[in-house]
Amino acid sequence: MRISTKRPAALAAAGALAVLAALSSPASAAHGAPKGRPVCAVGDAEPDCMLRVSPRKPGSAKAAAAGMPAGALTAADLQDAYKLPSDLLGGGSTIAVVVPFGNTSAEKDLATYRTANGMHVCDAEFPCFRRIDQRGGTTPPPAGTAWTLHAAVGLDMASAACPNCHLLLVEADDDTLANQGAAVDQAVAQGARTVVVMNGWFPEYEGQDAEAAHFDHPGVAIVAASGSSSFNGGGREALPAAYPSVVSVGGTNLYRDPAAKRGWSETAWRDTTSGCSLYEKRPAWQRKGDCGDRRTVADVAAVASDYTPVAVYDATSSGWALVSGAPVAAALIGGVYGLAGNTSATPAPRRLYANARYLFDLTSGANGSCAGSYLCTTGPGYDGPSGMGAPNGTGAF
């Protein structure tokens, strides 16, 4: 089978848009698995297109007093916004955070974040942190300074949602999709019921089914970001989020709103990725809709916008930072799955569609132009940018 490099036309009819993902250029039509860093890498000043560090700005005096950057969302903010019973649940859950390469400061960085946010640190009294390689051993892979922020985001956001969960940092040998998959397998073998893949923007390719089994473990919630490249993801959706077995997480803007019943307002983030998979079949729990028989991205959403960044601590990146980007949302949603502690065999993505009453339905915002289709425009019920909505407690997880 050859991949066509032609863009299919968007077909608008009776208020619906039939959109199939298209390749962005002939040069991008790779026939094999993607290797190493993606084409969205933009240099040392901003090591990737998925996480961004914002300048500090005025904000909460409480956060500043704790050492956190003013203007960033804290763990307490996130728990309040998503109505999470974080003090009560999660004690029996293990959340695995999968990242490429080694990070020697991960445990100390996590302790700094947890202390500043009023959480018990992971120590002998509360042994809630372990760090392993993709074979389950304690010999770390080579250090990768470009990836330490991903580890910090994963651990900090999982902690924010579920302070009582145990955290397992699994460091893959490198940043290839194959080794991310091997690290996921190891996380599951170690007992993790939730796995967050922080390196999650491999563009879809012909033959991607060869790696799919690594991201499909019954009874385990495997979570990844939909991406940070707006509607249609540059022509192809991102792996592993495009796999139907993975919970694909979109990004939002989240800000306090005293006029709202919730106390917060949340809208689709302009950079979040949504669209139709090139190769993956539509799972039974998704409506056929504008993607026909193909899988639609995303399933659920949480904060990721550069307008409303979160506080993260990463010593390698100069300590406290205001961080945004798609992996923020994925890690936070992973924390919610850990908090829920659901042992059901029902696939983790399917639970979201069956329990929409436990999600905040987002109805404002768009991430591109698609003739008004729900694939890039939020509205009541399911839409591409925010999926079924954002967490409202743990009932949907």
DSSP secondary structure, 254-297, as one string: EEE-TTSTTSEEEEE-TT--BEEEEEEEPPTTS--GGGTTEEEE
pLDDT tens sequence across 316-330: 988 999 999 999 999
- 386 with 301: CB under 8 angstroms? yes
Q: By C-alpha distance, which of 208, 114, 164, 202 is closest to 335?
A: 164
- 319 with 152: CB under 8 angstroms? no
Q: Do strands 94-100 and 52-54 pair parallel, antiparallel, or not at all (unpaired)?
A: unpaired
Cis? peptide before 309, omega within 30° of 0 = no
pLDDT at 113 exceeding the cut of 50: yes
Angle between helices 148-161 and 326-340 (to 10 degrees): 40
User: Mean pLDDT lowest for which of 41-45, 49-53, 127-131, 370-374?
Assistant: 41-45
From CA 182, how far away is CA 193, in angstroms rounded?
16
SS3 116: helix
pLDDT band at 88 (very low <50, low <70, confident <90, very high): confident
Which is it for the CA torsion 350, 351, 357, 361, positive or negative? Answer: negative
**pLDDT at residue number 33:** 56
DSSP secondary structure, 348-392, as one string: HHHHHHH-GGGEEPP-S-BSS-STT-TTTB--SS-BTTTBT-EES
Cα dist. 391→3, 302, 345, 352 in Å? 37, 7, 20, 10
**pLDDT at residue number 189:** 98
User: Mean pLDDT lowest for which of 88-97, 102-111, 298-307?
Assistant: 88-97
pLDDT at 292 exceeding the cut of 80: yes
Q: Work out the average pLDDT over 61-65.
A: 48
**pLDDT at residue number 42:** 36
Cα dist. 190→92, 122, 131, 193, 361 in Å? 14, 18, 11, 9, 35
User: Mean pLDDT lowest for which of 53-62, 123-132, 159-168, 289-298?
Assistant: 53-62
pLDDT tens sequence across 173-231: 999 999 999 999 999 999 999 999 999 879 999 999 999 999 999 999 999 999 999 99
Tokens for 222, please give them: 């495997």
**pLDDT at residue number 44:** 36
